[in-house]
Amino acid sequence: MAIEAGRYVLLVEDNPDDELLTLRAFKKNSINVEIRVVRDGQDAVDFFFSEDMEGGMLKDQLGLPAFVLLDLQLPKIDGIEVLRRIRKNSASKSLPVIVLTTSDEQRDVLKSYGLGANSYVRKPVNFKKFVETVGQLGIYWLTTNVPAENAS
């Protein structure tokens, strides 16, 4: 699969098993993209923003990821709050964020969309389905979708 050089995916995931399985799922789909992992909500916020994130500046050395895979239940700062801060910052407000979580509670789904999640995906227990899901997500957001930064 042709992926622009320097592009990467940010995985926000606190469960090491899920992290490993997600990486494996990318590999199974032959999606050769760099995947950076942060393991709690605070790290996710620090990853993007220097100092306090509300008015903070985006750290610019990396550039934005192609998309973010965001778990909701995270230590320190939960995924919903991470999403809120990403959307609040003008530099990252159009960044594709895919909520990838175990919960299919209605309030989580509604809150995520309400805060501008681009997609909400429930992690399937069945690994084959999980591989399929990650494959679809990866291909869609890395190749099909036109990101905001390319639109100008």
Partner 1 sequence: MNFEIDGQFQRLLFDTSPLGIAIVGSDGLLEGSNPAFREIVGREDAAPATLSVLELSHLGDRKELEAVLKGLTSGICDSARIAEHRFLRPDGEIRWGRVSARVSEDYTGILFLTVEDITEQQSAEEALRNHRDELQQEVEHRTKELQDSNRELEAFCYSVSHDLRAPLRALDGFAEAIIDDYHDKLDDSGRLYLDRIRAATTRMASLIDDLLQLSRVGRREMMKGRVNLSDMAGLLVEELRNGEPDRKVVTTIDEDLVAIGDRRLLGVVMQNLLGNAWKFTGKNDHARIEVGRGVSKGGREQFFVRDNGAGFDMTYHDKLFAPFQRLHNSTDFPGAGVGLATVQRIIHRHRGRVWADSEVGAGSTFSFSLPSSGSGTDGQVPHEESEDGN
Residue with smaller CB distance to partner 1, 126 or 143 = 126
Neighbours of 132 (CB within 10 A): 15
Question: Which amino acid belongs to residue 103?
Answer: S
Q: How far is CA 53 from CA 16, 62, 87, in A?
A: 26, 17, 11
Shortest separation between residue 30's beta carbon and partner 1, angstroms: 14
Q: Does 121 engage in binding with partner 1 (CB under 8 A)?
A: no
Task: Write down the least CB distance from residue 79 to partner 1, Å.
Answer: 11
**CA–CA dist 95, 53 (Å, integer):** 16
Partners of residue 101 on adjacent β-strands? 122
Query: Does residue number 75 form part of the binding site for partner 1 (CB under 8 A)?
Result: no
76 belongs to the binding site for partner 1 (CB under 8 A): no
Q: Closer to partner 1 at the Cβ: 85 or 123?
A: 123
> If binding is defined by CB under 8 A, does position 126 make contact with partner 1?
yes
Q: Smallest distance from the beta carbon of 22 to partner 1, in angstroms?
A: 9
Interface with partner 1 (CB under 8 A), residue from 110, 113, 128, 143: 128
Residue range at the interface with partner 1 (CB under 8 A); choices 31-39, 40-48, 127-135, 137-145? 127-135
Instruction: Report long-range pairs for 129-132 (Cβ below 8 Å, ≥24 apart).
Output: 130/21, 130/25, 131/24, 131/25, 131/28, 131/29
CA distances from 23 to 28, 122, 136 (A): 9, 17, 14
Name the site residues for partner 1 (rule: CB under 8 A). Answer: 15, 17-18, 21, 24, 73, 101-105, 123-128, 130
